[in-house]
Amino acid sequence: MKALVAKILLGTFLTALILSPPILPAAEAPIEAQPPVQAEPSAGEDLGYGVGAVLASVFYSPLKITYAGLGLITGGVHGKCNGL
């Protein structure tokens, strides 16, 4: 039983490690500060952002639900192993 729990935890850890983004160093500040330019997005640009948000959600939501489910299972296995 302990070997199964260890394999599940190791698999979860490796999956999280593989899927986590790499840590990048902070970028240097620009030499000359530019004044911020704010422009109103056009209707087409606004539509593009909306479509992009929907497409990102289609891919992100199942991953988020899977991650939450794995956390639920891991928490349950951990609680059961500790006699809770």
- pLDDT of 83 over the 80 cut: no
Q: Tell me what pLDDT residue 70 has.
A: 92
Structure tokens at 41: 């997005």
pLDDT-wise least confident of 10-14, 29-33, 64-68: 29-33
Instruction: Give pTM, 2 decimals.
Output: 0.41
Boundaries of every domain in the chain: 42-84
